[in-house]
């Protein structure tokens, strides 16, 4: 397979493939002119150079009024983006055989305050406050490819309380505000209702509030693998002075006690096809306090002990530490409810975040995922939906070549 960095814009021979794919993925659009404009929009995302403004997208057509027509199709039309996303998810689930659902945050800095959901928010990864729009994408990911299939926009309740701003952005009445971790959860749960096979939810949650994620995914019966900070507090048996003692301690401290159990695991770097790497890994059983002991079903679930002690401790989890061979301190900390999975498969699942980062950088950005210039809620959702279709077509074309 070619590296995603070798992707190129569709050749003329590929345009028939784009037409056939759009015919399938956009079949839910009720009118023929909507389906035609949807295909034109996707073609523009795939072929127009530079920033994907309406003017640039219109250059892929011979219609001088195409820019205004496409703007109306995205921002003012009535077609349902959710049905298109569900169709895309089912299509890619068959073709990719994904190993995980990877949740990724997308932050788009903005200069003004009028675009939907834009507000000043502190970004821990940057260590500063940024005027920005934030959303969460759900990606179907395998070792060789990844593509987004669902999006949830983060909108604060304060932003929604300004009736004039809300009306200008055409925010629907049933949108009552979903921020941060809630948006990540909704991106997953909505996709889970589309009939695609559930996969482990993999997410970098170091800067997230863990309780909403753990409790929501547990209640939904979904396996999860979350990257957490070393300071995350968990319960562990034998972490104190005696083997029978149960105490709360930071994840980093607990993994320090498990250093002697480290074992080397080889993995292929999804971001550099063919590159083999080795990491030291150690698992440790821990417990999530104050959460009902509800385990996911399926091949990743651990065996139930039925002990009163386990039930009293809370939800049994596996804490996974990853070290580089030349470092003393733990490099990454992961938390999972897949207690029956080996640490080798868990490590390889965690590496799929690198596949998503690579494909976002080399495909999503190139097809204009962050380029929507409008201000409306429906317009944003329709744009990222068709950009996801364009991403999938670019990715699938690269795999074929």
77 near 83, Cβ under 8 Å? no
The Cα–Cα gap between 56 and 50 comes to 8
Q: Are residues 185 and 275 in the same domain?
A: no
- pLDDT, residue 175, reads 80
238 found inside a domain: yes
298 found inside a domain: yes
- pLDDT, residue 8, reads 45
Q: Are residues 10 and 77 in the same domain?
A: yes
Q: Are residues 18 and 43 in the same domain?
A: yes
Q: Domain residues for 68?
A: 4-199+365-400
The predicted-structure confidence for 328-338, as pLDDT tens digits, reads as follows 778 899 999 99
70 found inside a domain: yes
The Cα–Cα gap between 208 and 394 comes to 31
Q: Are residues 263 and 181 in the same domain?
A: no
- pLDDT, residue 305, reads 40
CA 103 to chain centre: 2
Q: pTM for the full model?
A: 0.89
- pLDDT, residue 30, reads 92
131 found inside a domain: yes
- pLDDT, residue 300, reads 55
- pLDDT, residue 17, reads 85
360 found inside a domain: no
- pLDDT, residue 328, reads 73
Neighbouring C-alpha atoms within 13 Å toward the C-beta of 268? 6
204 found inside a domain: no
Q: Are residues 171 and 227 in the same domain?
A: no
Report how many domains make up the chain. Answer: 2
325 found inside a domain: yes
Q: Are residues 165 and 16 in the same domain?
A: yes
The predicted-structure confidence for 232-256, as pLDDT tens digits, reads as follows 999 987 655 555 567 889 999 999 8
Q: Can you list the residues of the chain whose pLDDT is less than 70?
A: 1-13, 64, 238-245, 290-313, 398-401
Q: Are residues 263 and 307 in the same domain?
A: yes
Q: Are residues 100 and 42 in the same domain?
A: yes
Burial class (CB in 10 A: 0-12, 13-18, 19+), 49: exposed
Q: Are residues 235 and 320 in the same domain?
A: yes
Q: Are residues 18 and 167 in the same domain?
A: yes
330 found inside a domain: yes
Q: Are residues 348 and 392 in the same domain?
A: no
Q: Are residues 246 and 173 in the same domain?
A: no
């Amino acid at each position: 397979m070619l590296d995603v960095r070798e992707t190129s814009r569709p050749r003329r021979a590929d345009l028939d493939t784009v037409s056939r794919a759009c015919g399938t993925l956009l079949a839910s659009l009720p009118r023929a002119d909507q389906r035609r404009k949807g295909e034109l929009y996707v073609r523009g995302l795939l072929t127009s150079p530079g920033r994907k403004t309406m003017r640039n997208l219109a250059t892929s057509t011979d219609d001088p009024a195409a820019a205004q027509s496409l703007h109306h199709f995205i921002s003012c039309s009535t077609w349902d983006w959710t049905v298109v996303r569900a169709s895309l998810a089912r299509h890619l689930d068959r073709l990719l055989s994904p190993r995980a659902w990877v949740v990724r945050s997308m932050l788009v800095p903005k200069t003004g305050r009028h675009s939907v959901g834009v507000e000043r928010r502190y970004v821990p990864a940057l260590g500063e406050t940024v005027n920005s729009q934030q959303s969460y994408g759900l990606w179907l990911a395998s070792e060789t490819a990844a593509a987004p299939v669902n999006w949830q926009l983060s909108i604060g309740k304060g932003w929604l309380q300004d009736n004039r701003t809300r009306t200008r952005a055409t925010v629907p009445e049933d949108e009552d505000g979903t921020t941060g971790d809630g948006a990540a959860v909704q991106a997953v749960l909505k996709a889970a209702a589309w009939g695609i096979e559930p996969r482990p939810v993999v997410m970098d949650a170091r800067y997230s509030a863990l309780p909403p994620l753990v409790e929501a995914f547990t209640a939904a019966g979904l396996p999860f693998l979350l990257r957490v900070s070393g300071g995350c507090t968990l319960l562990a048996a034998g972490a104190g002075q005696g083997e029978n003692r149960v105490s709360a301690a930071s994840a980093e401290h607990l993994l320090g006690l498990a250093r002697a159990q480290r074992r080397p695991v080889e993995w292929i770097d999804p971001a550099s096809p063919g590159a083999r790497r080795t990491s030291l890994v150690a698992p440790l059983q821990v417990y999530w306090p104050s959460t009902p002991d509800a385990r996911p079903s399926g091949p990743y679930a651990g065996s139930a002990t039925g002990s009163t002690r386990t039930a009293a401790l809370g939800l049994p989890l596996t804490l996974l530490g990853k070290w580089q061979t030349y470092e003393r301190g733990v490099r990454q900390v992961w938390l999972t409810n897949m207690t029956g999975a080996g640490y080798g498969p868990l490590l390889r699942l965690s590496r799929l975040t690198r596949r998503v980062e690579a494909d976002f950088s080399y495909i999503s950005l190139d097809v204009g995922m962050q380029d929507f210039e409008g201000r409306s809620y429906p317009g944003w959702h329709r744009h990222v939906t068709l950009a996801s279709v364009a991403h999938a077509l670019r990715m699938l074309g690269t795999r074929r070549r």
